[in-house]
């Protein structure tokens, strides 16, 4: 029987625990991203949610809780606005406060509003040009008002290719590619698709 080495055994246990925690951490991040996407796609006003709110409103009325009843009605109206993709005009986000909230995030070089709806977040590195950075920017906006009226665009200012310099964009409360009611789409790319196609064709011909 070989000699038992406590040091080696402890090292193996430490490595196993480290790998296990890394796997759990990655799974947790994946689950969080999945939960966010499901929440963006979910319909808030359903038969069940309406029944619950009506029952809660009746209970509040019976108990004489006018404030609770009013909050319940406001909550239903908020859900209906969300499902209709209409920003809540009573909770607009102050542009300067929103810009200031995003500026301190890791990787952010500068932040600027390019129109009433679109916030451009310029980052320093491809590792920040992703949906995770976009989610962090939206989270920073959440306490300020209704983020349905905000489209965050993340662009890498250190990119060395036109594709890498294209912005990753999404409305804070909607799935990728969708916009709020009356919210125009704005393409924020280093090159428009036609110019890029012509450029790539020229590059291809020059290599022959």
pLDDT in tens, 144-181: 999 999 999 999 999 988 888 899 999 999 999 899 98
pLDDT of residue 36: 56
pLDDT of residue 174: 93
Least confident segment among 75-84, 132-141, 170-179 = 75-84
pLDDT of residue 182: 85
pLDDT of residue 181: 86
Residue among 143, 207, 197 at smallest CA distance from 172: 143
């Amino acid at each position: 029987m070989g000699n038992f080495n406590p040091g080696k055994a402890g090292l193996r246990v430490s490595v196993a625990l480290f790998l296990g925690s890394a796997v759990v951490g990655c799974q947790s991040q994946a689950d969080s991203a999945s939960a966010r996407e499901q929440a963006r796609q979910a319909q808030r006003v359903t038969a069940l949610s309406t029944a619950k709110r009506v029952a809660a409103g009746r209970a509040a009325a019976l108990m004489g809780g006018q404030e609770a009843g009013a909050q319940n009605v406001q909550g239903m109206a908020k859900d209906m606005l969300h499902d209709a993709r209409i920003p809540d005009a009573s909770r607009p986000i102050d542009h300067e406060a929103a810009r200031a909230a995003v500026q301190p995030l890791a990787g952010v070089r500068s932040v600027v509003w390019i129109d009433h709806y679109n916030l451009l977040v310029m980052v320093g590195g491809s590792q920040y040009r992703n949906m995770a950075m976009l989610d962090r920017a939206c989270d920073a906006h959440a306490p300020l008002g209704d983020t349905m009226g905000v489209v965050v665009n993340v662009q890498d200012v250190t990119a060395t290719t036109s594709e890498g310099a294209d912005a990753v964009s999404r409305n804070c409360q909607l799935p990728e590619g969708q916009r709020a009611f009356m919210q125009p789409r704005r393409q924020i790319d280093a090159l428009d698709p036609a110019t890029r196609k012509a450029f790539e064709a020229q590059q291809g011909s020059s290599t022959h």
